[in-house]
Amino acid sequence: MSTAPAGRNPGSGRLLLTITPNAAVDITYRVDGFQLNRVHRPAETRTLAGGKGINVARVYRELGGQAFASGFLGGRNGRLVARSLQRQGIPGRFARTAGESRTCICIVDPLARTQTEVNEPGPEVSAHEVERLCALVRRLLGRGGWSWLVLCGSLPPGAPPWLYAHLIETARRAGVPAALDASGEALREGLAARPALAKPNLVELGHAAGRALATLPDALEAARRLRGTGIERVVVTLGGDGAFCVGPRGEWRCGAPAIRFVSAVGSGDSFLAAYLWALDKGQGDREALVLGVGAGAANAEVYGAGLCSRERILGLADQARPAEIRPGAR
């Protein structure tokens, strides 16, 4: 299943290649005063192609980069996702599944400042379908011209937990750095394959470390241990508290600027897109962290994942104040 415009060579130029194994139709309802056991009529509805890698591609493109989307798609929802990507100008090529791609619903109540998510598990994928995706990624990587392979989100039922690790190794053989944003066993196995960049949130970092991380010093220690395994960059998002990075030329922390909060859905994806975009522009981790925090904050101001504007991202990044973490600091 392809979303590439006619005649386009997806391997031409320097593109971000995003893999979303569990893509979705994302529906966001704005319901003022949402309550359980009540009938509600949303004040606003947004429907668009979703899944973490697709969100990354959307924001990366908004910043001025080129992105190419891949993963699994199936059924009517899969066709809706493909058409949505075409409308947004995001080319892609997907492995088909016999099962229906999932729907994810988010109910945002701006009055109570709550968000309620109902995410379907996704289609059951077969071993043959997994191999089809792996073969597709191998072919795409073999064409060259990719800046990063970005592996994002949950795996659908039936997908082996080693899938991300396998694709990281595939990217390494093709000379393409891999960025990983996952959770659970897929994250743990993916980290063991040593991606060039890992972007867990605080909870995911704790799961990878095998313990709860109650303080920033605990999180820093866990991130340093991960980097010591051969991962070049460990970048940890902290929600409304910003993010920090442990990289090859230092460690930085950056708080989030003040915003009018709407929804956090997609903020981590927006952060990752901006971080990679900055690195691709030759900027260092400090600048990438600042831009990432600006993108995460800009995303949190709007309904729908990855719909923040370049102008707002840059404006909020200008308000961010990074601080270097001194060697040995706890």
Catalytic residues: 269
Mutual angle of helices 216-227 and 202-209, in 10-degree steps: 60
The C-alpha R_g of the chain, in whole angstroms, comes to: 19
Residue 149 tokens read as 């392979």
Residue with token string 């509600």: 40
- Please state, as a whole number, how many other Cβ atoms lie within 10 Å of the Cβ of residue 244: 25
Side chain identity at residue 293, one-letter code: V
C-alpha distances (whole Å) from 70 to each of 18, 53, 54, 159 are 6, 8, 8, 16
Residue 260 tokens read as 């009018």
Tell me if 122 sits within 8 A of 156, measured CB to CB: yes
Q: Phi and psi at residue 262, in whole multiples of 5°? A: -120, -55
Residue 178 tokens read as 């891999």
Q: How many residues does the chain have?
A: 330
Give the integer Cα–Cα distance in Å for 73 and 129.
Answer: 11
| Three-state DSSP class for residue 212 | coil
Residue 169 tokens read as 């190794």
Residue with token string 């058409």: 83
From the list 109, 91, 99, the residue with the least C-alpha distance to 15 is 91
Give the integer Cα–Cα distance in Å for 143 and 148.
Answer: 13
